[in-house]
Structure 1
Amino acid sequence: MLTLTARQENQAELERQKYLEDLETQKAEAKEEYNKLLNSIEWDKMMRCAVTVHLDPETANGNLEVSQDLAAVCDAGGWCNVTENGKRFERFPFVLAQESFTEGRHYWEVTVDGCHTWDLGVARASAARSGRVVLCPEDGYWAIGHSWDRYEVKDRENVDLGNLESISRVGIFLNLDNNLVSFHDARRKLQVHSVSVAFQEPVYPFFCPWRSREPIRITPVPVAE
């Protein structure tokens, strides 16, 4: 049978353990709040790098339909009567933006809600546009994609991004000052992938809706106050 002193010591030890557990919980909550604040600050900085980009019909594959405002693209349902030129994607349903970047920081968003298959990212100016184009860094493309229920990093062997919640708006941040391209769930303000790359030539925003009749659309980014 425990003595009174032993019971008191046992109670004190339980209280000490409870205090330490509460302290760890408070530390974890404080860290979470700090990370949220840090993420909010970084997100605000990224928003200040927002740019307006427009689709370039001269690069659009003949199976694509580009909207008149040059903001949306979808499968055209058949081959369109397009003029051949060296800028146009010959075989796959890809299109670039009119704007290219060689320095600085640039952020844009694309609404993909309703489109079950898409690829988005950036392409260097010299990336191949004819024949069999592989979306991979070696061939000049840095992109992520979605195919029905799977999100992946585009490469010669695509890399699964795991169990992400459904993304309705994709944010792409091209940070040429720090040699970084990052991809974000813009609605939830979460980064889903980033890659380090040092570009030696102009870089273009890249878009692909594959065979979807539902368009993907470049979406205006709210201006940070």
Structure 2
Amino acid sequence: SFQASLIFLFSVTLKWSFHFFPPGKLQKEIDERKAQFRNGWQKSSLYPDWRKEFFQAVTITLDPDTAHPSLVLSEGNRRVTWGEKSQDLPENPQRFYSFPCVLGLQVITSGRCYWEVEVGDSQAWDLGICRPHVMRKGGISIKPEDGFWAIRSYNDEYWALTSPETQLIPKEHPARVCIFLEYEEGRISFYNMTDKSHIHTFSQGSFEGPLKPFFRLWPSDSACLTICPVLEAAQNPLC
């Protein structure tokens, strides 16, 4: 098991380190080897399923008050699709107007949680988290400095929306993405649940203040995102 392997690794490391390292360098060596072990384990196809045992699955629904007028919500506000024309919606300061985005209704302020999103064949989306107070109008920059931590699929390319953007090369097109949030640790990780591979991790150091799930669609006839129900996400290969 992972825990047994980790205990064995630490015991071997401690015995080896006592012989070769001065006391002041021992903890540094242990931390470095722990990080190496974690990085290798994160690439394992078993990792995302194992990780769910230590995270709380959360039910996410979309907040209609934040949805861009070109986005159509359905399935109990679990699905968002690109509409043929802009809807005549009430003016709302929470609504996105510059970009076709929508936020989750739920607010996350602590703990470890995850949710899954079915993207299907769509190649035009952003997924992640953001701060509730991000800009809705004008020149929006989707990057950590402006309160967004997200990845993007567009024109058969994948990007982590860092500064500058980081191109990602998944082995397979993800039909479903799992998002793991570690609030106190300041980490958000994305996994391709088609082949269980790691896509990207943002390491913020720490989060301060509330966070909300973030979704964006690009103009496309096939653009659609569906939030998987908790039970289906846990039991089915695709929701």
Report the TM range for the smaller structure's normalisation.
0.7 to 0.9
Cα distance change on mapping 1:163 and 1:181 into 2, 3 Å: closer
Q: CA deviation at 1:213?
A: 3.0
C-alpha distance after superposition, 1:22-52 (max 9, x if no partner): xxxxxxxxx9xx959x763663332542111
| Pairing 1:159-198 to 2, within 5 Å after superposition | 159-197=166-204, 198=206
- Maintained 8 Å contact 2:41/2:47: no
2:10: which partner in 1? none
Separation in 2 of the partners of 1:164 and 1:157?
23
| Pairing 1:62-73 to 2, within 5 Å after superposition | 62-73=69-80
| 1:216 has 2:225 as partner | yes
Cα distance change on mapping 1:41 and 1:154 into 2, 3 Å: closer
Separation in 1 of the partners of 2:75 and 2:194?
26
Where does structure 1 differ by over 4 angstroms across 4 or more consecutive aligned residues?
Answer: none
- Maintained 8 Å contact 1:63/1:76: yes
In angstroms, what is the RMSD of aligned CA positions? 2.4
| 1:46 has 2:55 as partner | no
Cα distance change on mapping 1:77 and 1:157 into 2, 3 Å: farther
Larger radius of gyration: 1
Q: CA deviation at 1:190?
A: 1.7
Separation in 1 of the partners of 2:163 and 2:201?
17
SS in 1 for 2:65: coil
Which amino acid in 2 is paired with 1:83? P
Q: CA deviation at 1:126?
A: 1.9
| Pairing 1:128-167 to 2, within 5 Å after superposition | 128-167=135-174
Separation in 2 of the partners of 1:152 and 1:41?
22
- Maintained 8 Å contact 1:74/1:211: no
1:3: which partner in 2? none
C-alpha distance after superposition, 1:143-168 (max 9, x if no partner): 00111211111135321012532111
Cα distance change on mapping 1:123 and 1:71 into 2, 3 Å: same
Q: CA deviation at 1:128?
A: 1.3
SS in 1 for 2:127: strand
- Maintained 8 Å contact 1:61/1:89: yes
SS in 1 for 2:202: strand
Gaps of 5+ in 2: 1-36
Which amino acid in 2 is paired with 1:77? E
Q: CA deviation at 1:127?
A: 1.4
Cα distance change on mapping 1:42 and 1:177 into 2, 3 Å: farther
Cα distance change on mapping 1:93 and 1:104 into 2, 3 Å: same
2:112: which partner in 1? 105
1:16: which partner in 2? none
Which amino acid in 2 is paired with 1:211? P
- Equivalent pairs, count: 192
- Maintained 8 Å contact 2:170/2:199: no
1:203: which partner in 2? 211
- Maintained 8 Å contact 1:134/1:155: no
Which amino acid in 2 is paired with 1:131? G
- Maintained 8 Å contact 1:151/1:164: no
- Maintained 8 Å contact 2:184/2:207: no
